[in-house]
Structure 1
Amino acid sequence: MFLLAIICYAASLILQAIAAIIGFSLSFRASDKFRWAWLFLASGLTLMVFRRFGSIQQIYLTGNYSLFDAVITAIISLCLLIGIYGIKKSFQNERSKNTALKLLGCLDVLTNCLSRAEIHYQISQEIERSLRKQEKFSLLELDIDHFKNINDSYGHQVGDEMLVSLVRCIQTTLRQIDHLGRIGGEEFLILLPGADEIEAMNAAERIRKHIATTQHLTSWQAPLQITVSIGVTTFTPKQQSALDKSELLTALVNEADKAMYCAKNAGRNCSSH
C-alpha cells in the first residue's frame, strides 16, 4: 500500500508537470487579451506540482499516507492533463482552419490562381515597392476570345475546365516572381515585377502564342484551342502624380483594361499597349 501511494503521488506529479508545460506553451500562442488567463492556469498547475513534492516528502518522513487521497489525486491530475491536451488540440484545429480559410481567400476557387482581392493586393504592394525603389513594373490584362461560344457550344463544365487548363498553360510561361490572378469570368491579370514596356510586350506575345498553339484537354471528346487578347501597361514611378496607392492601383488596372479592349478591337488574338 505504501508503494502504491508513492506511485500514485509520483504519477500525479508527472501528469501535473506535463499539464503545466502545455499550459505555458498555450499562453504564448494565445491572444494578448486572454494570455493572462493561461498564465494563471499554468502557474496554478506548477504550484500543484510543488505540492506533490511536499506530499511525497511527508510520506517518507512520517510514514503516514492516505491511499484514497493518493488515488484520487492521480485521477484528478489525469483529468487535468486530458482537458489541457484537448484544449491544445482544439487550438491547433482552429489555427489549421484559419490558415485554410486565409489560403482559400487568397486563391481563386476554380482555377487555383490568385483571387481578385489577392492580385490587387500584390499590385498595390508592387506599386509601393516601385515608388520606393523608382523601378518600373508592368501589368497584363488577358481575356479569352469568344469564351461565350465555348460555354454555349460545349457546356459550362467544359468552359470551367478550359479556364483551369488556361491557368496551367499561362503559369508555364511565367517567372517565379510573376503573379497571375483571376479577376472575374474569363479575365485575368498578370503582374510582371521589374518589367519595362519592351519586356512586358515580349512576355505578352510569348503568353499569347503559347496559348494559341496549345491543345486543351477537357471532358469534351476532342482537344480544344482558344486565343486570347492581352492588354499591356507599364507603371513608371517618375511619371506618377501625388495620387495615393489605391488611386494608382485603380488607374493602372483601368489602363490595362483599355489596352485589352484595344487588342479586341484590333481583331483579337493579339497584344496591345
Structure 2
Amino acid sequence: MQLLALICYVLSFLFQIVAVYICITLTFKIAGAFRWAWVCLTIGLTLMLSRRIFPVIDIYTSGNFKLIDAFFALAISICISGGIYGITKLIESEKTKNQVLSLLSALDPLTNCLSRTEIFSKIANEIERTLRTGNTFSILEIDIDYFKKVNDQFGHQVGDEILISLVKHIQESLRDLDILGRIGGEEFLILLPETKEIEALQVAERIRAHIASISHHTSWSEPIQITVSIGITSFKISACIGSNKQELLKELVHKADQAMYLAKDSGRNCSCVL
C-alpha cells in the first residue's frame, strides 16, 4: 500500500509538471490582454507542485501515507493536465482556422491571385515604404478586350476558364517580387516594386505580346485567343506632398485606370502610360 501511494504521488507530480510546462509554453505563445491569465495559472500550478512533493517526502521520512489522498491527487493531476492539453489543441485549431480564413480572404476565389482588398493593401504598403526610402514603383492595370463577347459567345464557364488561364500566363511574365491581383470582372492590377516608368512599360509590353500570341485551352472545343489593354502609371513622390496614404492609393489607381481606358481608346491590344 505504501508503494502504491508513493507511485500515485510521484505520477501526480509528473502530470502537474507537464501541465506547468504547457502553461509556460502558452504564456510565451499567446499575446494580448489574456496573457496574464496563463501567467496566473502557471504560478498556481507551480505552487500546487509542493502539495505533490511533500507527501512523497513524508513517506520516505516517517512512513506515513494516505492512499485515498494519493488516488485523488493522481486523478486531479491527470484531469488538470488533460484539460490544459485539450485547451492547447483548441487554441492551435482555432489559430489554424483563422490562418486559413485569412489566406482565403487574401485570394481571389476563382483565379487564386490576390483579391481586390489584398492588392490594394499591398500597394498602400508600397506607397508607405516608398515615402520612407525615396525609391519608385509602378502599377499596371490590365483589362481583357471584348470580354463580354467571350462570355456571350462561349458562356460564363468558359469565361471563367479564360480568366484562370490569363492569370497563369501573366504570372509567367512576372518577376518573383511582382504582385498580381484581381480587382473585379476581367480587370487586374499588378504591383511592380522598385520599377521605373520605362521599365514598367517594358513589362507591360512583354505581358501584352505574350497574351496576344497564345491560345487558351478551355472546355470549349477549340482554343480561344484574347488580347488585353494595359494602363501604366508610376508613383512619383514629388507629386504627392500633403496627401495621406489612402488618398495617394486612390489617385494612383485612378491614373492607372485612366491609362487603361486610353489604351482602349487607342485601338485595344496596346499599352499606354499616364
Q: TM-score, normalised by structure 1?
A: 0.95
57-66 vs 203-212, which moves further:
57-66
1:32 Cα shift? 3.3
125-134 vs 157-166, which moves further:
125-134
CA deviation map 1:182-229 (0-9, x unaligned): 110110011111222211111101000111112222222222221101
Q: Is the 8 A contact 1:27 1:38 kept in 2?
A: yes
1:113 Cα shift? 0.9
Q: Which runs of 4+ in 1 moved over 4 A?
A: none
30-39 vs 51-60, which moves further:
30-39
CA deviation map 1:16-37 (0-9, x unaligned): 1101111122222334322222
1:149 and 2:149 equivalent? yes
1:109 Cα shift? 1.5
1:230 Cα shift? 0.4
Judging changes above 3 Å, is the alpha-carbon distance between structure 1 residues 35 and 134 closer, same or farther for their aligned structure 2 residues? closer
Q: Is the 8 A contact 1:142 1:231 kept in 2?
A: yes
Paired AA for residue 82 in structure 1: G
1:86 and 2:83 equivalent? no
> What are the residue-to-residue correspondences of 1:191-202 with 2, within 5 Å?
191-202=191-202
1:90 Cα shift? 0.5
> Which position in structure 1 is the counterpart of 2:95?
95
Judging changes above 3 Å, is the alpha-carbon distance between structure 1 residues 203 and 55 closer, same or farther for their aligned structure 2 residues? same
Paired AA for residue 249 in structure 2: L
Q: Is the 8 A contact 2:52 2:73 kept in 1?
A: no
Where 1:16 maps in the other structure, the secondary structure is: helix
> Which position in structure 2 is the counterpart of 1:233?
233
For 1:249 and 1:236, locate their aligned partners in 2 and report how far apart those are by CA, in whole Å: 12
Unaligned runs of 5+ in 2: none
1:166 and 2:155 equivalent? no
Aligned length: 273
> What are the residue-to-residue correspondences of 1:105-120 with 2, within 5 Å?
105-120=105-120
For 2:247 and 2:65, locate their aligned partners in 1 and report how far apart those are by CA, in whole Å: 77
> Which position in structure 2 is the counterpart of 1:271?
271
Q: Is the 8 A contact 1:143 1:260 kept in 2?
A: yes
1:15 Cα shift? 0.3
Where 1:257 maps in the other structure, the secondary structure is: helix
1:83 Cα shift? 0.4
Paired AA for residue 29 in structure 1: K
> What are the residue-to-residue correspondences of 1:177-216 with 2, within 5 Å?
177-216=177-216
Where 1:220 maps in the other structure, the secondary structure is: coil
1:132 Cα shift? 2.3
1:88 Cα shift? 0.3
204-213 vs 132-141, which moves further:
132-141
Paired AA for residue 152 in structure 2: D
For 1:155 and 1:133, locate their aligned partners in 2 and report how far apart those are by CA, in whole Å: 47
Report the identity percentage.
Answer: 55
Paired AA for residue 115 in structure 2: S
1:256 and 2:256 equivalent? yes
Unaligned runs of 5+ in 1: none
> Which position in structure 1 is the counterpart of 2:49?
49
Q: Is the 8 A contact 1:23 1:41 kept in 2?
A: yes
Computed over aligned residues only, the root mean square deviation of the Cα atoms, in angstroms, reads: 1.4
Paired AA for residue 68 in structure 2: F
For 2:177 and 2:34, locate their aligned partners in 1 and report how far apart those are by CA, in whole Å: 39
Q: Is the 8 A contact 1:134 1:238 kept in 2?
A: no
For 1:44 and 1:125, locate their aligned partners in 2 and report how far apart those are by CA, in whole Å: 44
Q: Is the 8 A contact 2:151 2:159 kept in 1?
A: yes
1:82 Cα shift? 0.7
